[in-house]
Chain A
């Protein structure tokens, strides 16, 4: 595998991780807002 392909794949993997982490944080705060008053 070329360096360029390796680098692009690594960037994509980190981006995917960032999206998943952001989703987890988002759902945490959504839960607090939605159920905060109960």
Chain B
């Protein structure tokens, strides 16, 4: 075991865990909060995709997206256990505290990843399975291992991993990748940088201690705020893409504009705020923003189906 053996006792020369890990510890390894957002956006892709899917197959597709996301999070926690131990936000996770053995976490992640992709391929379709496999591999190899420790652009490119779920949900119904599903991808892709940079603004000390080159650590807070503002401005027209591609209607377009302007307002507030308060508010709103945007997308689509 590496330098993460806090809470691990030595008995008879062999490392023994401080206590038997609980089911809750294993659940935490799957990053349930991230998983819930991924499931929600995957569900949105599945709902607005044109075509029919059996309810059971749809449920299996969502389950596979959830398990695949959890597996990727689990392997991410296994790889970053040393970094997590140095950050206040993550120091109490099951691996840095020694509640779960690293090997068990890796094993759980790999088994769940393989199981989710195989089940998606067998029960749903090959395209959805390939996208899920690509997402898991991208998150682990491109984001976690390659980009995150090397470049402040880590979450810009790495954000693609979190943007794939609506495409997977869409592909589960249609069996293909279309412009409208790429538009859903683009929304989350453009939303991720301001969302994460808001977090890293008020956690920059944490990232600096862990040696992670987040933008505020490398380029400073002023440059980070400028980039956040830029991405938030660009996000607004991108959120209207589903409307112009015919995948949504006026209700969604109007909501996207209102929400986009509110998000932009938060970014402007962050720009003028020398403290962390606005960044914390923007981080909180960013989650609500994405949730409301996709809720409206679903509601708009369902309403159009009911009234057509």
A contact set with B: CB distance below 8 Å? 4-5, 8-9, 11-12, 15, 26-27, 29-30, 33-34
CB distance from B119 to the nearest CB of A (A): 8
CB distance from A36 to the nearest CB of B (A): 9
A8 close to B20 (CB less than 8 A): yes
A26 close to B20 (CB less than 8 A): no
For chain B, the count of residues having a C-beta within 8 Å of the partner chain is 11
Q: How far is the CA of A15 from the CA of B23 in the complex (A)?
A: 8
Best-buried of B20, B23, B54, B122 by chain A (most CB within 10 Å):
B20
- Closest 7 pairs (CB-CB, A-B): A8-B20, A5-B20, A30-B123, A33-B56, A33-B54, A8-B22, A15-B23
Pick the contact of A30 from B19, B20, B56 — CB < 8 Å?
B56
- Check B157 for interface membership: any CB of A closer than 8 A: no
Known A-B contacts: A11-B23, A30-B122, A33-B57. Give 11 more (CB < 8 A): A4-B20, A5-B19, A8-B21, A11-B22, A26-B60, A29-B56, A30-B56, A30-B60, A33-B54, A33-B56, A34-B123
CB distance from A10 to the nearest CB of B (A): 10
B57 close to A30 (CB less than 8 A): yes
Q: Which residue of B lies closest to A36 (CB)?
A: B54
Pairs across A and B, CB under 8 Å, 21 listed: A4-B19, A5-B19, A5-B20, A8-B19, A8-B21, A8-B22, A11-B23, A12-B23, A15-B23, A26-B60, A29-B56, A30-B56, A30-B57, A30-B60, A30-B122, A30-B123, A33-B54, A33-B56, A33-B57, A34-B57, A34-B123
Which residues of B15-53 have CB atoms within 8 Å of chain A's CB atoms? Answer: 19-23
Q: How far is the CA of A34 from the CA of B122 in the complex (A)?
A: 9
Q: Which residue of A lies closest to B60 (CB)?
A: A30
| Chain A positions within 8 Å of B22 at CB level | 8, 11
Q: How far is the CA of A4 from the CA of B84 in the complex (A)?
A: 27
Pick the contact of B20 from A9, A15, A27, A33 — CB < 8 Å?
A9
